Chain A
């Protein structure tokens, strides 16, 4: 029950494709409460990341994830750049040198990635940010994995938790980033960062469900 190196690459590619397919949607969400570029920015970043994957040393999961992180911090541009960049860089550090990932590996990688994003963005749960999708997802996965649930099911639960977290951002008032300038008016819209974070975890569950 492990995630192989090629599975990780597939996850990255599918996530890039998902972002690409939904870039208008994400940007529209962002336009409601931010500067309307989240989808376009993330798409530019993920496309750049795909270009870097070929240069990754053979079968090093950590190296692949770091390459994605480096591309994102350089090419996204908005706040998502350093935040998603940090997320992938932390995933990469936690999995450096590994050729495949166990449930435990993924749990602790997710742990340090979320920690990194929190440290970078200084956001708390309920601030209407990507954290609101990531934290429930991390917790759900850890709980499931520790409870002996299969990797595929644990990933599924993690994805569901992210979805619930994402949906829960709708009524929230933004307290971080440009959306916070809107104050009360930010309520009633789903957070684009939480939305893309949910995509990340949903794709993981889909791609790795048979691992």
Chain B
């Protein structure tokens, strides 16, 4: 927790303020008084040694905010700071906030786990309540003026109105700078609409501070031999909308969202529960800077040059890679990054600090980057604020090289609600899950990584809330409702307490569901539904049983052998399957044969790169193309099935022929084993995963050849709606509650019923308690999901009659869109 120190001339004041602040922050807050002198009679005054002791007492490693009254209090605090060890000094912040209001606000923020920056921000805002009460409209703010040396001489002038939708933000600004820099002229820009400027046109950062948006008028002035040419070129660029193709292709959410009344934003609820906390963005972690030492300016300048060159090369490679995979427009952001590395307003102060102040390159760079990032974050333009992250990214990469450590992945700055465009798998993997109270994504959809992660961890989540949420400042207060998709910014006390009530209710329901988790799930009119677990490792089986699983409905066998260099042997596989089956103690286990493809090749398998791996050689297609791998697995599975209720299923089946060829191999494996004297089962149940729409539509033809179907709704949805669930721009389309997906499920169930076979669902849809009534009503008898969802899904099954579920399912099939289906089940 961030500590707080109160410095005052009077010990009575300091102690009084501490007492007051504790009422807000609770007894646990580390707040220390440092008032008066340590003298008989406590004369009025400040004592730097007392301040020093208080700082050391309040510091738990998370930093200390020091609030002071006036005059010598400030200087004594500075003296105390000077006496701290350098490392500790870096995390002590002397804050100009008002003493009493600041202390109260800071204590509350510290208690909520805010970081030092957040606590300081809250302290500074401490006067707002009083100002509002007294009707003071605007607090006089110490505005940061863009200081520029006065320019004399004759200028050529150009005035124009910015017409492209995004204004002069990253990419258009980058083109502006590149164009202006191509001429022998001194070019300056002023935002006439806001009165900001003039600033040099050679600096991306300077241009950004102008905050030029659509319909703003700007004035461009140039002087020098090529002044006219420069202005002419900029005019042409402006006419082309600064190359801002985003005008026609801005990624927007594709999710079909019904806005919630009263909410600031609305998105798609994908993981139930509500969360209240601060906005957290993924950030690069701060590096520990090496201790200050005597440096040779020449050496440091050379190191700086080397680091920026290295990062430039790195960025060029990434750019080419992205351009190849996602197109020029997406890659253009890296041009912005590269340009930053040449920006004189960034580099000049760094070079000056090195050559004039004797600073090391790393320190000078870190300080300047922090300053630039801070300036961006303070702008009132969403796009520009996003630019702060670009600068931070580039800054981080260069700093990593200067210090000589690898660049680190992004992380969360503290506990709170993670707000992101969408989460990449690597990012989700690296997250400190303890810190994530809730998740909001701007894009993404119900089958995206964020949704899957959130559900598996039980984190309240809203996805597809629109790019507006990306403009939310770090630390802004947020309340999200994972049931309705509502997002409230700065919720009032009444709303918070309403949701706290709901959350308590939910917890109670959750714990009652948890208590019944290991009981069977039977509808009130007696229909039994098997609620099973999806499993990806031997170790998870205990957890699945504890969560109440009736069995394992999907064993992702390829996950068991991902992190290794050699293919798993028959014996290794036999051991793994047997271990899981034994832990299940007679409960059913459905083993899916290895489902790999070019999108996720294990290290032990050489696969050719494919342009479109989701439609490529994967699942059963790959198994049939490399039958040795499949034979090994089938033999291992059959041996395990001799003593355990193990069933087999094949993934990604499209044609009956594929199934028959796989069955023939199974037969062959069986015969081989028997001949070799191994114990084998008399028969083994064989099913297929229904992921390919062709398979669902043609289920009738498959039904005679299988014992069961298991519907993989994630892939089925993305294939049915032709929307890549990993592609932000269209992921929202891949909604598994879309009536088309439900109709495919209904079709499979019908075919199965005619042949007396059963149908399960093992995609994300199965783990959504609200979808349980539809699936049960459609005739699905087994639901397999990530273990945390089991208790609530069982609970949901027990709350409905099969008859009512059938009615809901029938209505759902008649709906025109996923959002209509959602409304239907929400209102039920």
Interface residues of A (CB under 8 A from B): 37, 41, 44, 70, 73-83, 85-86, 89, 120-121, 177-178
Which chain B residues border A82 with CB–CB below 8 Å? 46, 48, 72, 75-76, 78-79
Contacting residues, chain A, for B44 (C-beta < 8 A): 37, 77
> Given B9, B50, B75, which contacts A83 in the complex, CB threshold below 8 Å?
B75
Of the A-B pairs whose beta carbons lie under 8 Å apart in the complex, a sample of 23, sorted by A's number, is: A41-B45, A73-B47, A73-B49, A73-B76, A73-B79, A74-B37, A74-B50, A75-B37, A75-B39, A75-B47, A76-B45, A77-B36, A77-B43, A77-B72, A79-B71, A79-B75, A81-B45, A82-B72, A83-B75, A85-B48, A86-B79, A89-B79, A120-B79
Q: Which residue of B lies closest to A76 (CB)?
A: B45
Contact between chains at B48 and A74 (CB < 8 Å): yes
* Interface contact B45-A120, CB-CB below 8 Å: no
In the complex, are the beta carbons of A81 and B47 less than 8 A apart?
yes
- Say yes or no: A78-B79 contact (C-beta < 8 A), given A44-B39, A178-B71: no
Q: Which residues of A contact B39 (CB under 8 A)?
A: 44, 75
Q: Indicate the member of B36, B37, B50, B78 with the most A CB atoms within 10 Å.
A: B37
Report the Cα distance A78→B46, complex, angstroms: 6
- State the B residues within 8 Å of A (CB): 9, 36-39, 43-50, 71-72, 75-76, 78-79
Q: Which chain A residue shows the least CB distance to B36?
A: A77
**Residues of chain A within 8 A of B78, CB atoms compared:** 82, 120
**Residues of chain A within 8 A of B71, CB atoms compared:** 78-79, 177-178
Q: Are B9 and A81 interface neighbours, CB within 8 A?
A: no
CB of B47 within 8 A of CB of A78, answer no
Using Cβ atoms and an 8 Å threshold, which residues of chain A touch B72?
A: 77-82
Which residues of chain A are within 8 angstroms of B45 by Cβ–Cβ distance?
41, 76-78, 81
Question: Taking CB as reference atom, which chain B residue is nearest A77?
Answer: B45
The answer to whether A77 and B49 touch across the interface, beta carbons within 8 angstroms, is no
Q: Are A85 and B79 in contact (CB under 8 A)?
A: yes
User: Across the interface, which residues of B come within 8 angstroms of A74, CB to CB?
Assistant: 37-38, 47-50
> Across the interface, which residues of B come within 8 angstroms of A89, CB to CB?
79
Contact of B75 among A37, A75, A121 (CB under 8 A): A121
| Bound-state Cα–Cα, A81 to B39, Å | 14
Per CB-CB distance, the 10 closest pairs between chain A and chain B, nearest first, are: A77-B45, A82-B75, A73-B48, A79-B72, A74-B49, A82-B79, A74-B47, A82-B76, A77-B37, A73-B79
- A54 nearest CB across to chain B (Å): 19
Besides A74-B48, A74-B49, A77-B36, 10 new A-B residue pairs in contact (Cβ under 8 A), listed by A number: A44-B39, A44-B43, A74-B47, A77-B9, A78-B71, A79-B75, A82-B46, A82-B76, A82-B79, A120-B75
Query: Which residue of the partner chain B has the closest CB to A176?
Result: B71
Residues of A within 8 A of B38 (CB): 74
Roughly how many angstroms separate A173 CA and B244 CA in the complex, as a whole number?
Answer: 57
Q: Check A77–B46 contact: CB distance below 8 A.
A: yes
On chain A, the residues within 8 Å of B48 by CB distance are 73-74, 81-82, 85
| Residue of chain B at shortest CB distance from A122 | B75
Distance, CA A199 to CA B518, complexed state (A) = 87
Task: Say how far A122's CB is from chain B's closest CB, in angstroms.
Answer: 9
Q: Which residue of B lies closest to A71 (CB)?
A: B49
Residue of B nearest to A82 (CB): B75
Task: Tell me the smallest distance from the CB of B469 to a CB of chain A, in Å.
Answer: 42
The distance from the CB of A202 to the nearest CB of chain B, in whole angstroms, is 25
Q: Which of A75, A78, A83, A177 has the most B CB atoms < 10 Å from its CB?
A: A78
A44 to chain B: which residues have CB within 8 Å?
Answer: 39, 43
Chain B CB within 10 Å, residue with most, of A80, A85, A121: A85
A76 shortest CB reach to chain B, Å: 7
Separation of A83 and B45 alpha carbons in the complex (Å): 13
Distance from B386 Cβ to chain A, minimum over Cβ atoms (Å): 37
Give the interface centre of B36, B47, B48, B49 by most chain A CB atoms within 10 Å.
Answer: B48
Residues of A within 8 A of B9 (CB): 77
Give complex CA distance A92, B147 in Å.
Answer: 39
List the A residue with the shortest CB-CB distance to B43.
A77
A168→B49 CA distance, assembly (Å): 34
Nearest CB in chain B to that of A116: its residue? B82
List residues of chain B with CB within 8 A of the CB of A85: 48, 79
Output the least CB separation between B44 and chain A (Å). 7
Which chain B residue has the least Cβ–Cβ distance from A41? B45
A89 vs B36: C-alpha distance when bound (angstroms)? 21
Bound Cα distance from A75 to B50, whole angstroms: 10
Complex: A85 Cα to B306 Cα, angstroms? 44
Alpha-carbon separation in the docked complex, A41 to B49 (Å): 16
Q: Tell me, in angstroms, the Cα distance from A91 to B44 when the chains sit together.
A: 27
* A110: min CB distance to chain B, Å: 19
- Report the Cα distance A44→B36, complex, angstroms: 14
Task: Give A79 to B44 CA distance when docked, in angstroms.
Answer: 11
CA A74 to CA B36, docked complex, whole Å: 10
Q: State the Cβ distance, B194 to closest chain A Cβ, in Å.
A: 32
A205, chain B: closest CB distance, angstroms: 28
Q: Which residue of A lies closest to B51 (CB)?
A: A73
Per the bound structure, the CA–CA distance linking A86 and B75 in Å amounts to 10
A89 to B83, CA, bound (A): 11
B46 cross-chain contacts in A, Cβ below 8 A? 77, 81-82
CB distance from A172 to the nearest CB of B (A): 19
Q: Within 8 Å CB of A178, what residues of B?
A: 71
Which residues from chain B contact A70 at a C-beta distance below 8 Å? 49
With a CB–CB cut-off of 8 A, which chain A residues contact B50?
Answer: 74
- In the assembled complex, the Cα of A83 lies from the Cα of B78 at a distance in Å of 11
Q: Are A77 and B75 within 8 A (Cβ)?
A: no
Alpha-carbon distance A77/B75, docked complex (angstroms): 11
- A-chain residues with CB within 8 Å of residue B49 when the two chains form the complex: 70, 73-74
A120 and B72 CA atoms in complex are apart in Å by 10
* Chain B, residue nearest A119 (CB): B78
Cα A86 to Cα B48 with chains together (Å): 11
Min CB distance A97 to B, Å, is 19
Q: With a CB–CB cut-off of 8 A, which chain B residues contact A121?
A: 75
